[in-house]
Amino acid sequence: MDEKGKFECGICYFQGSAKEFTPITVSANFAALECPQCLNNDPATFEELPVKKENEKAA
């Protein structure tokens, strides 16, 4: 899992870095993402967001 990646939960739409989606529940699959807001861990519902480069100018 890319630590610099940004993800969005498809259930509650929480957005954060991959580090924030580390599983916290005891029965969680640590190879999968888990939303810290709603504890969703269905891999089909997560979307990886494009990461803006620091030198990229805003339009």
Q: State how far the Cα of 49 lies from the Cα of 7, in Å rounded to an integer.
A: 5
Compare 16 and 1 and report the one with higher pLDDT. Answer: 16
Over residues 8-50, the pLDDT tens digits come to 999 999 999 988 988 877 766 777 889 999 988 888 999 999 8
Taking 70 as the threshold, does the pLDDT of residue 57 lie above it?
no
Do residues 37 and 46 touch, judged by C-beta distance below 8 A? no
53, 58, 51: which is closest to 3 by C-alpha? 51
Confidence of residue 54 (pLDDT cuts 50, 70, 90): low
Compare 11 and 55 and report the one with higher pLDDT. Answer: 11
Tokens 């899992």, residue located:
1
Confidence of residue 55 (pLDDT cuts 50, 70, 90): low
